[in-house]
Amino acid sequence: MSAAVASRLTAVCRQFQRVLTVSSHTQTQYATRAFSTFHSCQQSRMYDSWCFRSPMNNRAVHTSCVRKGLEEFFDLPENWGEQTVKSGAPWTAKQLRVKSNEDLHKLWYVFLKEKNMLLTLEQEAKRQRLPMPSPERLKKVERSMKRLDTVVEEREDSLRLLQTGQERGRPGEWRRNVFGKTFWYRFREHPIPWYLNSRYKRRRFFEPSHVAPYTRLSLEKYLRSKIRKEKREKRNQKSLAAMFPKKTALASDH
């Protein structure tokens, strides 16, 4: 069973390799032949040199070929060997927002399969040291997936805010670390409570007494740098205004 799958995979890889490297009118012949052999259930006897000849495979009767949908890792056969493949615009968040949750769920898997196909193509092109046809397709799919994720997050956020009033999905709180800095500590999920977790008890979420004076000093430093930046900005704007005076009466320039 697994030998048949492996032989099928190697055969498909070989066909693909052949299609990418051969670039003349013979390429179309190869493609059609590969296509026909791929889709017809051939005996494993064809791939003699590739698969192991185990005693089990020497039966006269062979079971049907194992396809397992591996053709979805590859592009449509008419695009094999092309230098550029036409592709449309990516989905925008506005277009995705009108779709139902079920549609979005299905679309996510469509995107995922397309992305897997393009990544396979990219890797094979790298292996063959050839340029990948139309790499912008990968960017389009990734952007569409990110936008879909954003839309789903928006829906979850709105539902959570409505039902619980919580702004964040993941619990957390403001804590002070050992250096005296206040930061948003994001909670992690644990199987045991905190008073039984020896590693958590060793973490210090308070500043020791000898660190306390430095908190004030670092705050002063931060304020000073902020004021300096603002003053520098104002000074720069003033000098730019002096360098480029605004012409009140628009001088005629022709």
Minimum Å gap between C-beta 114 and other proteins is 7
Burial letters 135-152, b for 16+ CB under 10 A, else e: eebbebbeebbebbeebe
C-alpha torsion angle, residues 109, 10, 32, 75 (rounded to 10): 20
Q: Is 202 in the site for other proteins (CB under 8 A)?
A: no
Find out whether 9 and 66 touch, Cβ atoms under 8 Å: no
Whose structure tokens read 């032949």?
A: 33
Minimum Å gap between C-beta 61 and other proteins is 38
> Which of residues 11 and 148 has its CB atom nearest to other proteins in the complex?
148
Q: Is 191 in the site for other proteins (CB under 8 A)?
A: yes
* CA–CA dist 63, 46 (Å, integer): 15
Minimum Å gap between C-beta 65 and other proteins is 25
> Which of residues 11 and 75 has its CB atom nearest to other proteins in the complex?
75
Site string for other proteins, 61-90 (x = CB under 8 A): ---------------x---------xxx--
Minimum Å gap between C-beta 89 and other proteins is 8
Find out whether 208 and 179 touch, Cβ atoms under 8 Å: no
Would you call 150 helix, strand, or coil by DSSP? helix
Residue from 1, 60, 61, 192 that binds other proteins (CB under 8 A)?
Answer: 192
**Neighbour-count burial of 157, counting CB atoms closer than 10 A to its CB (0-12 exposed, 13-18 middle, 19+ buried):** middle
CA 214 to chain centre: 42
Would you call 186 helix, strand, or coil by DSSP? strand
Minimum Å gap between C-beta 88 and other proteins is 4
For other proteins, the binding residues in 111-170 under the rule CB under 8 A are 114, 136, 152, 155-156, 159, 162-163
Binding site for other proteins (CB under 8 A): 76, 86-88, 91, 95, 97-105, 114, 136, 152, 155-156, 159, 162-163, 171, 186-194, 200, 237, 240, 243-244, 250, 253-254
